[in-house]
């Protein structure tokens, strides 16, 4: 059973994710498919310093709402995530294999992670980290990477192309 404290945090995070997806200040332009065109989210140096803490806080609130222990940021997992974000951009495709044939486990080991890799979430988008986290939470397989009870550590990184496209990577381990 979810405690009232965690339910309140969960509802706050859910509302924040929803509002972040809706709040843009201007009406979105609609593409030929009838869907809103992506909005450019340029990551400033200040944003770059704040994003990891914001994502960690949101992930831990979501985990807490499920009665799952919080995670901590791990430098090695973050390095593996950063490497993969840059590599996906170089390959121009979101997938879990590196251009050198590396798997998520290979990249975590090469970055010095000694724990067990549990999962990896990736995204190619123009959306914010909050919108990306919301999209991951909407799908069972990526949600499981975030909420898996065995996870104790997380790495989170991105690479933003000059065009504004962002390649997000989250890696989790125990």
CA-nearest of 85, 69, 55, 100 to 157 is 85
CA-nearest of 7, 152, 151, 108 to 67 is 7
The pLDDT tens digits for 1-23 are: 444 454 445 444 554 444 444 44
Position 2 scores a pLDDT of 45
d(CA 170, CA 118): 11
Domains of the chain: 61-173 (3.40.33.10)
d(CA 18, CA 38): 16
DSSP code, position 40: P
Tell me the average pLDDT of the chain.
87
Contact 95, 124 (CB under 8 A): no
The pLDDT tens digits for 109-156 are: 999 999 999 999 999 998 999 999 999 999 999 999 999 999 999 999
């Amino acid at each position: 059973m979810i405690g009232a404290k965690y339910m309140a945090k969960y509802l706050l995070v859910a509302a924040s994710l929803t509002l972040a997806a809706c709040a843009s200040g201007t009406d979105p332009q609609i593409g030929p498919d009838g869907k809103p065109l992506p909005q450019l989210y340029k990551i400033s140096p200040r944003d770059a310093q704040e994003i990891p803490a914001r994502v960690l806080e949101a992930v831990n609130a979501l985990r807490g709402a499920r009665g799952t222990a919080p995670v901590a940021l791990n430098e090695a997992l973050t390095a593996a995530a950063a490497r993969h974000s840059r590599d996906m951009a170089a390959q121009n495709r979101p997938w879990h294999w590196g251009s050198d044939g590396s798997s998520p486990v290979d990249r975590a080991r090469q970055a010095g992670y000694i724990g067990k890799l549990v999962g990896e979430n990736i995204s190619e988008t123009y959306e914010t980290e909050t919108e990306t986290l919301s999209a991951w939470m909407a799908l069972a397989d990526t949600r499981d990477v975030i909420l898996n009870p065995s996870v104790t550590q997380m790495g989170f990184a991105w690479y933003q192309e000059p065009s504004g496209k962002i390649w997000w990577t989250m890696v989790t381990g125990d």
